[in-house]
Amino acid sequence: MKHFISILDINSKDIEKLVNMSFYLKMNKRFNKNEKLLKDKNLVLIFEKPSTRTRLAFDFAAKELGMNTAVVDKTSSQLGRGEPLIDTFKVIERYADAVGIRTFKQKPLEEISKEIKIPIINALTDEEHPCQTIADLLTILEKKGKKNVKVAYLGDGNNVCNSLLVGCASLGIDIFVATPKGYGPNENYIKEAENRAKKTGSKVLITNDPIEAVKDADVIYTDVWVSMGEEGKEKEIFKPYQVNKELVKHAKKDFIFMHCLPAHRGEEVTKDIMDSLHSVVFDQAENRLHSHKAILLYVFSR
């Protein structure tokens, strides 16, 4: 049994295994639907934040592996009336074999994991989005391979950026991040990415210059400027980081555009890029299904 809470706790070798397993499961859909490797296990999904892709991907991924699923949110549970999260977890571990959660602060989740004896999967916190990163790496592998690949991430150095930094460095993929001053990724993730990059031979650069990041990039990645729970944040400062036809001229001609969705056309990305042939955002979204199957097998050491 393993938790899947922080990408910092997943070594480079295991990240590569997760990506390879995701690819295998995608290429062999008949196998994983027939084998039911996690037959009759129960998965509970807790959502304290809204979700579309994570919720659907985990639900269908679990069922394809033979699991039963149940969804809990604040509107349909005692969490909405103030029940402590640890109490909810202690009940769930009596019913289920694993739990995935989309929540706010990560530290309480890490504390809870010390007391709970079933696998906990971080389906998004304010600090990380490790499930998204496995799907992203699968997408990059499919579209560009992983040798001599440069990823440019633009905008807010948020949870997606933190996880992507470490994920790319783990596989030897160059990652250049451009954000406004004061909006860069968390220092802990920068340091870990740099440490892993030394071993894999990749490059990590954090800059405030979007052109420097995008120059000769194979992949351009962005996310919303205002994440869930940050409503009211000033957007004006992010405008130079918008992915538009002028900025992408600095990338390679065959670059791909990635976004974890939902996207705000006209803010972090223009419609002509979002809906262009360069965009692989829906392939990327599909890959959540396959990567989530790999994550479920991983936490059960299968």
DSSP line for 237-270: GGGGG-B-TTGGGGS-TT-EEEE-S---BTTTB-
Within this chain, do residues 199 and 159 fall inside the same structural domain, yes or no?
yes
Catalytic annotation on 278? Answer: no
Within this chain, do residues 184 and 255 fall inside the same structural domain, yes or no?
yes
Within this chain, do residues 158 and 273 fall inside the same structural domain, yes or no?
yes
CB 293 within 8 A of CB 32: yes
Catalytic annotation on 290? Answer: no
Catalytic annotation on 102? Answer: yes
Within this chain, do residues 92 and 170 fall inside the same structural domain, yes or no?
no
Catalytic annotation on 136? Answer: no
Taking the C-alpha atoms of residue 275 and residue 282, their distance in angstroms, rounded to an integer, is: 10
Within this chain, do residues 169 and 253 fall inside the same structural domain, yes or no?
yes
Within this chain, do residues 240 and 149 fall inside the same structural domain, yes or no?
yes
Within this chain, do residues 201 and 258 fall inside the same structural domain, yes or no?
yes
CB 120 within 8 A of CB 3: yes
Catalytic annotation on 78? Answer: no
Residue 253 lies in a domain: yes
The secondary structure element, H or E, covering residue 293 is helix 281-299
Q: Single out the catalytic residue among 102, 196, 259, 290.
A: 102
Residue 175 lies in a domain: yes
Q: Single out the catalytic residue among 132, 168, 174, 284.
A: 132
Catalytic annotation on 196? Answer: no
Q: Single out the catalytic residue among 129, 196, 259, 292.
A: 129
Q: In the chain, which residues have pLDDT < 50?
A: none
Q: Single out the catalytic residue among 59, 259, 260, 278.
A: 260
Residue 150 lies in a domain: yes
Residue 1 lies in a domain: no
Domain of 121 in residue numbering reads as 7-129+288-299
Within this chain, do residues 66 and 206 fall inside the same structural domain, yes or no?
no
Within this chain, do residues 160 and 234 fall inside the same structural domain, yes or no?
yes
